[in-house]
Structure 1
Amino acid sequence: MADMLLKGQDKNGNGLKNQTIRVGTRKSQLARIQTDNVVQMLQNHHPHLHFEIIGMTTTGDKILDTALSKIGEKSLFTKELENALERNEVDLVVHSLKDLPTSLPPGFTIGAICKRESPHDAVVFHPKHVGKTLTSLPEKSVIGTSSLRRAAQLKRTFPQLEFKDIRGNLNTRLKKLDEKDDFSAIVLAAAGLRRMGWENRIGQILSPTECLYAVGQGALAVEVRARDQEILEMVSVLHDGETVLRCIAERAFMKHLEGGCSVPVAVSTTLKDFQLYLTGAVYSLDGSESLRETMQMNVKFPLENEDGPNDDIQHVGITAKNIPHGAQKAAEKLGLEVAELLLSKGAKQILNVARQLNDA
């Protein structure tokens, strides 16, 4: 079905022949693996182009002694990359989509969203607890997570456990887990562990009933200058129709709630027989209060009559000319409607209190 959501795509790279395309990325091992994967896909589609990868350090990579939610900067892992894009030092940048704010700076757009890896959260256990689950851990066991979203949901589901902030890249966090006795387990994105080749460390995958995931989690995004039509056209071959529609709904939901990493907002999406389902939820910091709703929307739209005035339309920062505009519009509407439903039931109050407590 994902293929049916995509128009035919140009593999000729337009007028970019023999050019070197500079690709910006964070320097962490996971970011480099993700960027190498994206560049390899682009190389397969555009064999005549040369790609050069340029690594950079972001604010989020530098500040390792403070919880992400307390730094108060929305573009922690993206700002330096976007600055390089603005200065024409790179032609495109590769991000984990969940790191990208729902409102991009003027002049930028997400030109491609690759097929999503598992969006779920995974539990990695201390070597002495291998084979256990969160339910079977001893009472008062300490679980490490840098995410308010994970902590709020897991406190609610596993009240017998304790939760403590843990920062650093994947390598650093696993080292802290394995070499000390501070944590019985840590919670990470399954996608990152799989991309690093560490699937054998996953002791438990959290289902949406236990822990809804982050907006855009598991998907890779390619950000470009919105006016750079040749680059936009070149990267658009990577769009995965199903992933794009799911992520548009998720991002629209979060944007309407004015959510970010400083408040616990969570989602789950599925696309089946052209019906897009979105579950959205908000939580208090301790998980004691929550609102959760599921809605669906038909996203089956014809491909014809799609060119022309719709060409430069973005949906929550995403430009996807090769996916039916009507389908994208429906996905965005679904996100807005789930957010509106939660707001009508008091989501604003829960999020405001969460934000104030986190800021304090």
Structure 2
Amino acid sequence: MFNALNRFISRLDGEPAPAARENHGAFGFQVLRNTNPQLAIEPWFDFVVGINGRMIDDSDPRLFAQEVRNCAGSSVMLGLWSAKGQRTRALHIPVPADTASLGLTLQWTPLAVVSNIWHVLDVPPNSPADVAGLLPYSDYILGTPEGVLHGEGGLSELVEDHIGRPLRLYVYNNEYNVTREVTIQPSRDWGGEGALGCVLGYGALHRLPAPLSEPVHAPGETMFDGDLAAAAAGQAGFMPAAGGVVPPVAATPPPPSSSADFLVPAQMVDAQTAPVSAPPRSKKKERPHHGAPNLMDDYFKEQEKKSRELDNAPSRTNSPLPPPPKGGPPRGGPPRTASVPPKEEGGE
């Protein structure tokens, strides 16, 4: 079932929608070589998709080189898309005035090329994958120097051509964040299933994750930094309840952000302009909010209504009359009939 789901998702990935094509153009300059060790740019994993705040939609390398030369003596901002976690970041790079070169070797490549990745899920003992040193659940097969792999069946076709012969593979490990070359010899006589002897995953569920050293994004992201909060509390200090007037603390505005991120967070309200106390509420009935409906509340109300209908539970509006009190007839017993005393006959 999961293999069929992966194949279906891979077909969707192979035919990107127009909206997805507009997101980073679905193309970019893939970094093939980085000769500047001071640049935090990884070959093969990083794609240059923007420059100086504009997305790159033209494959002409001369336009890109001219934009870099225009920033000679200052810095250029590159928008980088990483295959690790499929994230975008901005990087400011100083451009030398004499050479006007970044030391990068780039190639115009579709971003979908990094989807041809095979995730090593299970490695049985004494299998060719185990002998080669593949690690389960943390290794990803990126490619091979023997040729280019296209599609889900590209690796299996290459393995069939190397039965009984050594095959070199480029393998990335997520736990150690390193890429190494592994030599494996496919065989069908090792005593198990498959020529490689390992279970592989392919498709959208097996993309390259972000390195473990990077901060975790939502859900579970860090909402507040404890160190900054502790430092702010230490600067303000604790003032005694009884004493003089507490001097106001001058609020320094936050420094301007140096990174030109593609997502700009909402601005926080300044402490000096924020109201000290909320205005008193009027005695009139508050108007209902016109914001987004609470879907969870509506869902619970709907389920409660269905449950009451199934249980034939009486509602509050149309409740029947209460049953008569228990305990039999009244304490005085049944009503007695009034007896008329007989008339006395008078004698003479």
TM-score scaled by length of structure 2: 0.26
Query: Going by fraction, where is helix more abundant, 1 or 2?
Result: 1
Greater relative CO (CA pairs within 8 A, separation 6+): 1
Larger Rg: 2
Q: TM-score, with normalisation over the residues of structure 1? A: 0.26
